[in-house]
Amino acid sequence: MQSLLKLSRAIDAFTKWVGKRLAWLILVAVIVATVNAIIRKSFDVSSNSWLELQWLLFSIVFLFCAPWTLLDNEHIRIDIISNMMKKKLRDWIDVVGHVFFLMPLCIVMIITGGPFFMRSVEVNEQSSNAGGLPQWPAKSLIIIAFFLLLVQGISELIKRIAVMRGLIPDPHATQVHALEAEVEHLIEAIEKR
């Protein structure tokens, strides 16, 4: 199990490294959108490729940062209900969710995304919009992103099993979620007034 935990730590480090770097593409997307809007309004010149670049940048961030979201335990769940459950039940829900839902979904997306991407490459698929971008790079994101999410799901499964066996402390036990931190910040601001 120690070798699996070592693998999990390596996966986590890679996921965090990728996520922290690619999250900056949101800023690039905002800059592209701003410059595009200024040029369009000022000079009455526009290009669909700039609009599609914004979508592509956002897609990269959304898809490639999903494993980082899973790593930081910030994925969508019903925290109100989850927090009322016993820890052992929450751990089992995580294991079942990863094994029977997350991993199969990732595998299906990788398998079905392959031919989808290959057909696009074979025909050198271009945007249906005049002046748009090639479509195959965007379609490759599906395979890559779901592979990264699958790998991070494996890491999360390794850690959850290790937590359940008492081999490591729960990495999320002392974590303050973003929403909880925001509520605490608002309460402090209200009390200062």
Residues 70/153, Cβ–Cβ less than 8 Å: yes
Kindly provide the b/e burial profile for residues 158-178, where b requires at least 16 CB atoms within 10 angstroms of the residue's own CB: bbbbbbeeeeeebbbeeeeee
* Beta bridge partners of residue 134, listed in sequence order: 126
pLDDT tens per residue, range 105-119? 999 999 999 999 999
Better pLDDT: 168 or 109: 109
Number of CB atoms found within 10 A of residue 26's CB: 15
Predicted pLDDT at 79: 65
* % the chain with pLDDT above 70: 93
Tell me the three state secondary structure of residue 134. Answer: strand
Separation of alpha carbons 87 and 82, rounded Å: 9
pLDDT tens per residue, range 142-154? 999 999 999 999 9
Separation of alpha carbons 193 and 184, rounded Å: 15
Separation of alpha carbons 53 and 56, rounded Å: 5
- pTM equals 0.81
Q: Structural domain boundaries of the chain?
A: 2-192
